[in-house]
Every structure is written in C-alpha cells, then in structure tokens.
C-alpha cells in the first residue's frame, strides 16, 4: 500500500520505541570514549553557540561576515545543523540547567536523532509488511554493535541515516497525501544541512516519482501532457545551466553567480514554472500532481534551506558552497587495513563494502538482510518474463523503493575511487532499509512455520512463533554488543571469527581513538603528579575533553611524541607499527605495563618510561 498513515496504536508504539531507544542510548553514553571527529565538533559547536549568544546580545555585529567567520570558520567543511544543536544543547543542559556533563549535553541531540530511527523503521515496515516485520526492523537496528556505537556520538553519520529514512518516508506518504510532498522538500533541506550524503537522495527518489506519475497519467491525455511539460521544464533549465557553465567556464560560472544573475533567475523560473505546471496538472489528475510534487520541493526547498541554515554562506554563498563541495569531491584517503592489505590510495577493492558488511553485522541479522533483498530482486526479475510471471507476486513500487535504498549508499561507497575508511558508518543509510527487508524475510519464515503448526493447533497465535524466532535471531547481536561495549569499532561477526578471527584475517582492529578510555583509569591511578603522557592518535581537543568531563586527571600533561613522554598509550594500527618501535627505542623497553585487550587482541598498549 502506498502512503498509508499509521494507526493510533502504531503511533503510540512508535513513540514508545523512540523513548526506549533514547533512554538506552543516554544510559550507555557516558562509557563511550570521544572519537577524533568529536574533538573538533565539540569545539565547533561551542563556537557556534557563542555566536548565538552574540546574536541575541548584539544582532548588528553578529550578522557581519567578520563575526560569522570568527565563529563558523572552524570545521566549515561540514554543514552546521547538528553542530548548532550540539552547542545549544550544551548551553541549555550543561551551562544553563547544570543537569548534564558537557559531553552528554553536546551528544544529546545526536542521541535523539538516533532514537528516531527505530520508530521510523517500525512505521514504514508496518505499512509495507505488517507490524511484526516493522517491529523486527526497529528492534534489530540498534542491536548491531557498530550501529549502536555510532549512535552514541556527536557526529553526523547516524543523524543523516534518520534524515535519509525520513525523506524516503515523507516521499512515500506524499504519493497519497499532498501535504507530505511539501514536507518532503523541507526534510530534504534539513538532510542537506546534516551531511553531504543527502545530495544523492534526489537521484534515488526521482525515478520512482516519474514512474508513479507515468502510471497515474495513463489514459489521461491532459495529465500526460502535464507530465511532459514538467519534465521538459526541468530538462530545459538543466540545459540552460549547462550552456552557462560551458560558455563561462568553471571559474566564470562561479564568479558570475550572484543575486540578479541568470543563474538565480533560472532557479526562480524553475520554481514558478513548476508551481504553474503542477497547479494545472492537479486539475487534470491529482495523483499525477502528487507524484511530481516531491521533485519540485526537493529542487526548490533543499538549496534554500541549506543556504539559510548556515550563516557561513550568507555573505559568500557561491564561493563557500563551491569550496565545500570541492572538499568532499577530493576528500583525502586514510590508510585502512583490509584482509592483510594496507589500503592507502585508490583504486580500492570493489568487494570491500560487501565483505566489510558481512564481517561486521551479526550473522543472525545479516543472513535475513541478504535473503530479504534477494527475494525482492528475484521476484522482480521473474516477473519480467511471461514464462515465470505467474510464479511470483510482482514487487510493489514501495518494495522497489526500499530495495533500491537498501543498496544506494553501498553502491556509492563501493566505487573504487571513493575513500574507504571509517568502518561501516558511511553506508549505514542502506543498512536501515536492509533491516526492513530482513524483517519481511523473518516474518515470511515465521508465517510458513505457523501454517505448519496450525495444522495441529489451529488457534495458535502468531506471536508464539514470532517472539521466540525474533529472540533467537537478536540474541547473538545483543551478546556481541554487550561483549565489546563500549568499544564498538572492535566488533566483528561470527563469519569473521569474532574479534580474534578478524585480527587473524588482517582486518582493522579499531579506529577513531575512542578505545583509549580503557586505559584512562590505570593512567589516573599510576601516573606520577604532572606526568607527561603521549596519547597516540588522540587529538588535543579530545584530551582536554576527557579532563573537562572528569575522565582524566587535570594535572596530566599531554605531549606529542614518545621522546617527551613518561607514559605512552599506543593505539594498535597496522599503519603505525613503526611508531611502536620508536616507543621501544625512546623508553628502552618493549614490555607494556598495561593495555586494553578485547577478546585477548591488543587495542591500546601502555608503555611507561622506566624510573617514572
């Protein structure tokens, strides 16, 4: 069914799922260390919050480009929606009310966003496959240890999953309710303001919008003519932009992009033209107009909201947006250990994303994901042939939408020239939709089993099968999550042989430096007063945050090389093995004093200079 609104019971259960997820994440947050990215995000969020203070105190000064740059130049390679929320949350819940420590207050909006993923999965899954499938998808998402770890962080990878899921949900609802068509554009603008992943969303939903419009306009000449006008309008504007780019060249196109330029006039003409075409189309065929409305709102609302949310763009929108896009188009490559190879530069292995997913998602959840996706694809392929069409039920448009989103992020990251680092966090948007398909696959299996059991006990309720099957599939994930907590980047699945098996396979053991929390208690207890400690791979921002949040003694002095240090907390990475040799030479010993060992594999190794 397309665009079904949730029932009252479903809405209530969705809110309960949000509350359950939020409370669980909040209770677990304190144990999770600060990843490298959080150090700069914490600092940026506080800088942005100070700009809001200035805005209320002295608006005229705050709105100048100089004041904006002072506040927003830090970490201007990422949009600021989440960082602004982080900063305002810290102002309210730490500085204002004093309820939370600084790190928890900053992370709070990210926790709230992460908690929205289970209810969204439940609502979409319930409408497409039934409540049981939606519930399985909702409950299993945060049981995947790497998802749970990323959900605790003041970063953007999980918030953009929530935004991606919400845009697709809004698009799906818009096919039956025009109000969601406007909401889809607004949410897309907020998604762009969250992370650049959202730039790919129009390419995912537009084909479905056009296909739906084509089907709805069948047999209606006026509606089909309106559809062609709509497509022609967008094609004409794209062509004119292309001609401008060719005529002016890249630098000229950017330099001459100002308020009254042809570029802006074309954008305005597109908005006005789309509104005029859709109004006429609505009179001919409201369903056709509803299908096309999200395309128009994505195109118009997205760029406007992206610009409005980011003060850094206000005075120099074109130049600074171009820099932002170029930065991510040419993102640097970080070394990454994969099956015994140290990947430093492209081309990267084409199979990397699939292998990494198989080795990091609990096998009891990974198998239903694969089964669910292959089932939809298989039904689609079989329905193409007249010989096999009768064997299967053709996938609905909504099922196809889920199946495409289940591989969209995976396909993007799988390109051999795209940077391959960060574990699985860059394609988690796909994992949410794979979770929906896994729920459908599991419930199909439960239904088949129930039919067999009802041959003997006709009144057997469905939950007597679903509950134990759900528990059986989720329990390994829960045990794995508990086993590695709070060191989520260390988790590997049964297919990898767990953490030790992954180490033997030559996989990256951990990243982002957050596992250093495992040795902070020892350092606090054993370091001499004012000891100099080299926290290998931990940023200066993060060291200060550990001290500010009471996790590291205030007198500890961070230094930046083994030669200066009394103690070194070394992060075990294949690309840094030579640095461990430098520690041995500087300290005159190869014997660690303590360390963090996850399932007996070394992750953090602590060395102390003899005599200190």
Question: In this model, does residue 422 exceed pLDDT 80?
Answer: no
pLDDT band with cut points at 50, 70 and 90 for residue 259: confident
* Mean per-residue pLDDT, 273-290: 96
pLDDT band with cut points at 50, 70 and 90 for residue 1: low
Q: Cβ(595)–Cβ(571) under 8 Å?
A: no
* Mean per-residue pLDDT, 409-415: 96
- Give the Cα separation of 490 and 335 in Å (integer): 17
For 591, left (φ over 0), alpha (ψ -120 to 50), or beta?
Answer: beta
- Give the Cα separation of 237 and 270 in Å (integer): 7
Give the CA count within 13 Å in the CB-facing half-sphere of 46: 14
* Mean per-residue pLDDT, 364-371: 98
pLDDT of residue 257: 87
**Cα distances (Å, whole numbers) of residue 88 to 304, 306, 482:** 23, 19, 32
Cα diameter, the chain: 89
Q: How do residues 529-554 score in pLDDT, each as one tens digit? A: 999 999 999 999 999 999 999 999 99
- C-alpha Rg value of the chain to the nearest Å: 26
Residue whose structure tokens are 């053991």:
509
- Give the Cα separation of 612 and 150 in Å (integer): 37
pLDDT of residue 464: 95
pLDDT of residue 420: 82
How many Å from the N-terminal Cα to the C-terminal Cα in the chain?
A: 70
| Closest to 404 measured CA to CA, from 212, 215, 207 | 207
Residue whose structure tokens are 């794995």:
480
| Closest to 80 measured CA to CA, from 201, 200, 196, 202 | 196
| Closest to 421 measured CA to CA, from 37, 140, 26, 23 | 37
Give one DSSP letter per residue of 511-577, joined into a string: -TTGGGGGTHHHHHHHSPTT-EEEETT--HHHHHHHHHTTSS-TT-EEESSGGG-SEEEEE--GGGH
pLDDT of residue 255: 87
Q: How do residues 225-253 score in pLDDT, each as one tens digit? A: 999 999 999 999 999 999 999 999 988 88
* Mean per-residue pLDDT, 305-321: 96
pLDDT of residue 332: 85
- Give the Cα separation of 90 and 94 in Å (integer): 5
Question: In this model, does residue 603 exceed pLDDT 70?
Answer: yes
Q: Cβ(508)–Cβ(26) under 8 Å?
A: no
pLDDT band with cut points at 50, 70 and 90 for residue 302: very high
Q: How do residues 177-227 score in pLDDT, each as one tens digit? A: 999 999 999 999 999 999 999 999 999 999 999 999 999 999 999 999 999
Q: How do residues 80-103 score in pLDDT, each as one tens digit? A: 999 999 999 999 999 999 999 999
Question: In this model, does residue 2 exceed pLDDT 90?
Answer: no
Beta-bridge partners for 342:
337
Please report, for the chain, the start and end positions of each structural domain, with discontinuous segments joined by +. Answer: 182-311, 514-608
- Give the Cα separation of 357 and 16 in Å (integer): 29
* Mean per-residue pLDDT, 377-391: 91
Give one DSSP letter per residue of 414-455, joined into a string: HSTTS---STTGGGHHHHHHHHHHHHHHHHHHHHHHHHHHHT
Mean pLDDT rounded to a whole number for the chain: 96
Q: How do residues 101-136 score in pLDDT, each as one tens digit? A: 999 999 999 999 999 999 999 999 999 999 999 999
pLDDT of residue 333: 87
């Amino acid at each position: 069914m397309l665009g079904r609104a949730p029932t009252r019971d479903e809405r209530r259960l969705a809110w309960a799922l949000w509350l359950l997820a939020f409370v669980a994440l909040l209770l677990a947050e304190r144990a999770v260390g600060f990843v490298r990215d959080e150090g700069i995000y914490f600092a940026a969020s506080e800088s942005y919050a100070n700009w809001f203070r200035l805005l209320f105190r002295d608006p005229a000064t705050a709105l100048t480009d100089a004041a904006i740059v002072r506040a927003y130049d830090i970490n201007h390679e990422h949009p600021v929606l989440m960082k602004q929320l982080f900063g305002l949350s810290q102002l309210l819940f730490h500085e204002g009310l004093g309820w939370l420590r600084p790190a928890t207050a900053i992370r709070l909006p990210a926790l709230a966003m992460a908690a929205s993923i289970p209810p969204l999965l439940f609502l979409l899954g319930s409408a497409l496959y039934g409540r049981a499938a939606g519930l399985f998808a909702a409950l299993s998402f945060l049981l995947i240890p790497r998802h749970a770890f990323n959900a605790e962080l003041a970063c953007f990878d999980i918030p953009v999953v929530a935004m991606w899921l919400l845009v697709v949900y809004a698009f799906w609802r818009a096919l039956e309710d025009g109000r969601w068509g406007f909401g889809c554009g607004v949410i897309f603008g907020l998604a762009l303001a969250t992370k650049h992943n959202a730039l790919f969303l129009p390419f995912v939903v537009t084909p479905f919008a056009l296909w739906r419009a084509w089907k709805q306009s069948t047999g209606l000449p006026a509606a089909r003519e309106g559809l062609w006008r709509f497509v022609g309008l967008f094609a004409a504007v794209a062509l004119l932009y292309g001609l401008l780019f060719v005529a002016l060249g890249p630098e000229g196109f950017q330099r001459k992009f100002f308020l009254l330029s042809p570029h802006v006039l074309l954008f305005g003409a597109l908005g006005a033209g789309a509104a005029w075409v859709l109004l006429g189309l609505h009179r001919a065929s409201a369903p056709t107009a509803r299908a096309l409305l999200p395309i128009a709102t994505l195109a118009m609302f997205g760029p406007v909201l992206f610009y409005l949310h980011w003060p850094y763009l206000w005075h120099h929108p074109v130049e600074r947006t171009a820099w932002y896009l170029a930065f991510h188009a040419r993102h640097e490559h970080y070394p990454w250990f994969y099956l015994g190879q140290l990947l430093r530069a492209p081309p990267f292995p084409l199979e990397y994303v699939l292998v990494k997913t198989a080795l990091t998602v609990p096998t009891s959840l990974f198998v239903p994901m694969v089964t669910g996706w292959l089932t939809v694809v298989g039904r689609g392929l079989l329905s193409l042939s007249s010989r096999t069409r009768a064997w299967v039920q053709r996938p609905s448009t909504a099922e196809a939408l889920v199946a495409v989103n289940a591989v969209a992020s995976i396909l993007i990251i799988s390109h051999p020239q795209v940077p391959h680092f960060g574990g699985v966090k860059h394609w988690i948007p796909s994992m949410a939709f794979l979770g929906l398909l896994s729920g459908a696959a599991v419930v199909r299996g439960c239904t088949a089993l129930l039919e067999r059991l009802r041959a003997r006990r006709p009144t057997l309720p469905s939950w007597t099968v679903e509950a134990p099957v759900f528990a059986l599939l989720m329990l390994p994930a829960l045990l794995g999550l508990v086993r590695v907590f709070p060191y989520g980047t260390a988790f590997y699945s049964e297919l990898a042989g767990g953490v030790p098996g992954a180490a033997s396979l030559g996989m990256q053991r951990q990243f982002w430096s957050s596992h250093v929390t495992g040795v902070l208690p020892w350092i606090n207890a054993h370091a001499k007063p004012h000891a100099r400690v080299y926290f290998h791979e931990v940023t200066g921002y993060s060291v200060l945050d550990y001290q500010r949040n009471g996790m590291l003694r205030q007198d500890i002095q961070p230094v930046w090389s083994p030669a200066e240090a009394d103690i070194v907390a070394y992060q075990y990475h294949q690309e840094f093995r030579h640095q461990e040799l430098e520690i041995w030479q500087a300290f005159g010993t190869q014997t660690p004093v303590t360390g963090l060992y996850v399932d007996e594999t070394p992750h953090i190794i602590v060395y102390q200079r003899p005599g200190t």
